[in-house]
Amino acid sequence: MSSALGGAINADGFWILVGAVFIAGLVRGFSGFGTSMIYMPFAGTVLPPVWALITVLVFDAFGPLPNVPRALRDGAPRDVMRLALGAFLGVPLGLFLLYRIDPEVFRWLVSGVSLVLLVLLISGWRYHGEMSRVLTLAIGGLGGVLGGISGLAGPPVIMFYMSSMRAVKVVRANILLYLLMFDFFSLAMMAVSGLLEVQPMMIGILLTLPYLIANIIGAALFRPGFEKIYRWLAYTLIAGAALSNLPLFG
């Protein structure tokens, strides 16, 4: 165990990951989303695609736990369960594709999805159709596929909720709970398939503490009256992470 932890700390780019996960944790704490959109572009530059996903699944499964009681109080359980069921059905396809993707394509995919979502959010685009049970299930499934291949399970769900009239605290809670369930689904499926590897799991464990601390700080900073400021701060950080880690820049 000690040798595995030592190898994780000495892994190339480990301290880059620590910085990325702390920023991602702050954003997740005060906005309820953004972890993978900030962390994965950085992780894609220093880790193989599968390792990058394993690390984010490990720390993201445990880092937000202090915020779960509040999310359970604020969230809409039926919506969360439909989204989670969709993710459960979609994750296997995403993982199947992940194990066959080229690392450079992976970097383009992660940064590209983050930037497309960012443009849609800033543009004010909204879906104005009926938010049916089937649509909720389908959105969760799309998030599961996208999360399995790139770690970005949140974007489809974020866009779905940006179209709703739900209160900010409900949206924030639902996204947090959905992403948490996605993490556990994915880890369980990888474990059953024998696809989990020790070193990326150790890296993920080591990243859990800074992520946990950042989540607590971010949640403490959250004030509903400052929603616009939080949103634009998250947009800026996501754009910086995605642009700076495109394959164009090495």
pLDDT tens digits for 188-227?
999 998 888 999 999 999 999 999 999 889 888 877 677 7
pLDDT surpasses 90 at 235: no
Short-list 200, 196, 83, 102, CA closest to 150: 102
The predicted structure's pLDDT at residue 10: 57
The predicted structure's pLDDT at residue 229: 76
The predicted structure's pLDDT at residue 156: 85
pLDDT surpasses 90 at 66: no
Cα–Cα distances (Å) from 245 to 11, 17, 44, 141, 152, in that order, read: 19, 13, 8, 27, 15
**Terminal-to-terminal C-alpha distance of the chain:** 33
**In the predicted model, what is the mean pLDDT of residues 17-41?**
86
pLDDT band, residue 58 (cuts 50/70/90): very high
Q: Long-range contacts: 98-104, Cβ < 8 Å, 24+?
A: 98/49, 98/50, 98/53, 98/148, 98/149, 98/150, 99/50, 99/195, 101/49, 101/149, 103/44, 103/48, 103/49, 104/247
pLDDT surpasses 90 at 250: no
Q: Which domain holds residue 109?
A: 2-249
The SS3 of residue 166 is coil
Its pTM surpasses 0.85: no
In which residue are the tokens 């159709």 written? 129
Which uninterrupted H or E stretch holds 200? helix 198-221
pLDDT surpasses 70 at 36: yes
**In the predicted model, what is the mean pLDDT of residues 78-94?**
93
What total of structural domains would you count in the chain?
Answer: 1
Query: What residues contact 173, with CB distance under 8 A and at least 6 apart?
Result: 32, 70, 71, 72, 73, 74, 75, 76
pLDDT band, residue 22 (cuts 50/70/90): very high
The predicted structure's pLDDT at residue 55: 96
**In the predicted model, what is the mean pLDDT of residues 46-65?**
89
Of residues 33 and 167, which shows the higher confidence score? 167
Of residues 75 and 7, which shows the higher confidence score? 75
